[in-house]
Amino acid sequence: MINEPSLAPREFGWIEVVCGGMFSGKTEELIRRAKRAHIAGQKVVVVKPALDKRYSENEVVSHNETALPSILVDTADQIVLLTGDARVVCIDEAQFFDDRVVDVANTLANDGKRVIVAGLDMDFKGQPFGPMPYLLAIAEYVTKLHAVCAESGTMAHYSQRVVEKEGQVLVGEYDAYEPRARHCFRPPVDRRRGRPIKPFMNPAVKETEEESTDETEEINSEHT
């Protein structure tokens, strides 16, 4: 069941986060909530990062081609300047913003606005994506959506990159990504170490393991 707060105006604002993997319906849900707020007579502003121009420069568009007018912004700080007297602020593809978007969302909510954020919670490596973990932590309402695994047909929350491209950010569609279930997800290979990258780990544990691996590799190289 989708966790959506009441549309009734409140004295105080709040933050809602809609997260999940590729093709799980995040933008579709953001559009649905924005339209309901508009029907309720509330002024709505929708923004998205300038990086995402897959379908349109002046609309947010879901994979099902549901669309809503939006404003392209280069930085998170621009969002505050664009909201004005809007009661509802929608931020799509939040993972592409820097960490400033967390402060922006807090500022807007503290100013009495309803902030609806949608974004990928994990990247193609199965690692937390950009500012999303922090947005999830400060949100009053969190909705996790799932796609259908392209291999098993079961519930999918991983995004499998199916093209050979480096870098965390690759804006793409079905030609670049597939939704995958846990048992079907294959992490990319760490080319430096020649083995698959482990999905999300506690940063402290990850750092310790990497240091241990580096020391082992150094010792092995000295004996060869």
pTM: predicted TM-score of the whole model, two decimal places: 0.79
Q: Residue for token digits 């170490």?
A: 193
pLDDT of residue 51: 80
Q: Residue ranges of the domains in the chain? A: 14-145
Q: Give the per-residue pLDDT at 58.
A: 63
Q: In the structure encoding, which two tokens stand for residue 145, read together?
A: 């959506």
Element (H, E) at 145: strand 141-145
CA 133-139-140 angle, to 5 degrees, is 150
180 near 160, Cβ under 8 Å? Answer: yes
Does the 14-145 domain belong in CATH 3.30.479.30? no
Query: Whole-angstrom Cα distance, residue 172 to residue 150?
Result: 16
In three-state secondary structure terms, 170 is coil
What 3-state DSSP class applies to 160? strand
Q: Indicate if 93 belongs to the active site.
A: yes
Q: Which backbone phi and psi does 137 adopt, to 5 degrees?
A: -70, -35
* Per annotation, catalytic residue among 59, 93, 178, 209: 93
Tell me which DSSP letter residue 194 carries.
T
Cβ neighbours of 135 (radius 10 Å)? 27
Chunked mean pLDDT (size 10), the chain, 224 residues: 59 94 94 96 94 63 71 94 95 95 98 97 94 98 97 96 67 74 88 59 54 50 50
